Amino acid sequence: MDKPKLKKWQEPVNIKSYPMGSTCDSDHLTSINAGWRTYKPVIDHEKCIHCLRCFLVCPDGVIDKLKENLEIDYDYCKGCGICAYECPVKCIEMVKEEK
């Protein structure tokens, strides 16, 4: 598998030039979760205000914002909880993974 290409850092000139989400697509830096995740994030879509903060801070880029509701790709989510911690309305709950 080829490694992702690195881009040289350039100081953003305005808000639109800041990077959005992960720097690469899922599965470029990792493979499918091997089942070691203990907790997984679950989004309460009724409480979600679509601020996209979870999308912006997810280190693995596993939150999809292309549909009406945000979706998490659990195949690649490592369960770090950053999305739940950063959510301003606490609509993301870390739930114990069931086998």
Total count of domains within the chain: 1
End-to-end CA distance of the chain: 30
Domain membership of residue 18 (yes or no) is no
What is the pTM for the complete model shown?
Answer: 0.67
What is the spatial distance between Cα 64 and Cα 68, in angstroms, rounded to a whole number? Answer: 10
Residue 72 located in a structural domain: yes
CATH code, 38: 3.30.70.20
Q: What percentage of residues in the chain have a pLDDT greater than 90?
A: 49
pLDDT at position 27, please?
A: 46
What is the per-residue pLDDT across 36-47, written as a single tens digit (0 to 9) for each?
789 999 999 999
Domain annotation covers residue 82: yes
CA–CA gap between residue 70 and residue 64 (Å, rounded) = 6
Q: Which domain holds residue 61?
A: 31-99
Backbone angles phi, psi at 40, to 5 degrees: -125, 145
Give pLDDT tens digits for 14-38: 777 766 655 555 444 456 776 778 9
